[in-house]
Every structure is written in C-alpha cells, then in structure tokens.
Chains A and B, each alone.
Chain A
Amino acid sequence: NAGVTQTPKFRVLKTGQSMTLLCAQDMNHEYMYWYRQDPGMGLRLIHYSVGEGTTAKGEVPDGYNVSRLKKQNFLLGLESAAPSQTSVYFCASSTGGPSLNQPQHFGDGTRLSIL
C-alpha cells in the first residue's frame, strides 16, 4: 500500500502563476484534508472533504480552491500564487472525522516556493 501520495514533491512558482497539487489515497478513506505547515505555526487546515463530491473550508481557505471528484483524489488549487503561500503542504486522509475517534494518515508533503 502506498497510503497517501502527494505530487509534486517540490515546486517553484512565480507570483501570479497557478498550479494544482494532487493528493491520492489508496485506503478507501472518506475524509481528506489539506494543511499547510509554516515555521512556528504548526499545521493549519486549508480545506477538507467528508466524501466524494463534498468540500468545506478550514481555517485558512483564502487563495485556495479544492475538488473531490473521485473518492481517492483530493486536489488543491492555487488560483494566483502569492509569496505568502510559500509553505509545505500536507494532505491527509481518514476513515472518519476526529469526533469519531479516527486518526489521520499523512503524505510526505509538497514544498512550494513562490518567488
């Protein structure tokens, strides 16, 4: 099992460019999440999905869009990249939400630099 796979692993963008980060999980999980991790800030939730075709905003959704067209995939889009979006992005999945006492499984991250 690959678990949670994120592509690409590294990317450098210029301000104003757009791009899509892909997350794929092979565990048949219903829930998927996108986080960003910045130095000294821990992980902050950007968007999440509780099932195929659903998405919801997290703590820091501005400047990002997401889609969950297939259960196994969760895409994160940057519409017009800004230097403030330089970060490490992590995708996670789980069988259920935290209120159901379910842990999350993480990918190894995408390191994104916006120049």
Chain B
Amino acid sequence: SQQGEEDPQALSIQEGENATMNCSYKTSINNLQWYRQNSGRGLVHLILIRSNEREKHSGRLRVTLDTSKKSSSLLITASRAADTASYFCAQGLIQGAQKLVFGQGTRLTINP
C-alpha cells in the first residue's frame, strides 16, 4: 500500500501550546499536502510543499519536508480552540494516476 502513516493518531494539548504532527510516506513524491477537517465537514487545504522545498510557512503553520527520510511535519504554533480538527497529510505522487494518497490523520484537540 502507498498509504502514508501519521503520528500521533491523537494529540491533546492546552490552548497556547504548539502542536506537532508527523507524516511518513513510502514512495517518491512530487509534493506533500496538508489538509484540515473539522467535525462533519470536508477537507480544507492548508499548505503544499514541493519535493525540492525543505520548509514552508503560512501564518501559524510551519511544514517541513525531508525527502531522504520520506517524512514531513506540520507545526501549529500558539494553538487556539478553533484549531481542534483532524489533520491529514497527502502525497502528490510523481508517477501513475493523478491522485493524492492520504494518511489516516491526526486528531488534534485543543483544551481551553
């Protein structure tokens, strides 16, 4: 299976703390994408990092990519209650079908 793995499966922190989620994958990628899913809603695209990039920022989000280790991490700084959601990484593959391969997600809970 090409499906990536996310770690941890669940994370609970206090508001204001930083949250880090990790994603590992198996195949060669063109990019790695992160999505957020609020309960009962669809996925929302957060950030895309290309295979030739090592770090990318967007507001309170910081994504790193290490292609030699086939891993990526998403850091959310100064977390807020509204950040409570599930977060998914998705591999944009180089070869084969024009599709994303999603991980199983990390459930993040921010406690007030």
Contact = CB atoms under 8 A, between A and B. Distances in A.
Nearest to B91: A98
A35 B30 CA distance: 21
Interface in A50-104: 50, 56, 58-59, 90, 92, 96-99, 101, 103-104
B93 A101 contact: no
Interface residues of B, number: 27
Contacts, number: 73
Residue of A31, A33, A42, A90 with highest tally of chain B CB at under 10 A = A42
B98 A99 contact: yes
A42 B31 CA distance: 18
Contacts of B103: 42
Interface string A15-56: 000000000000000010101000011111100101000001
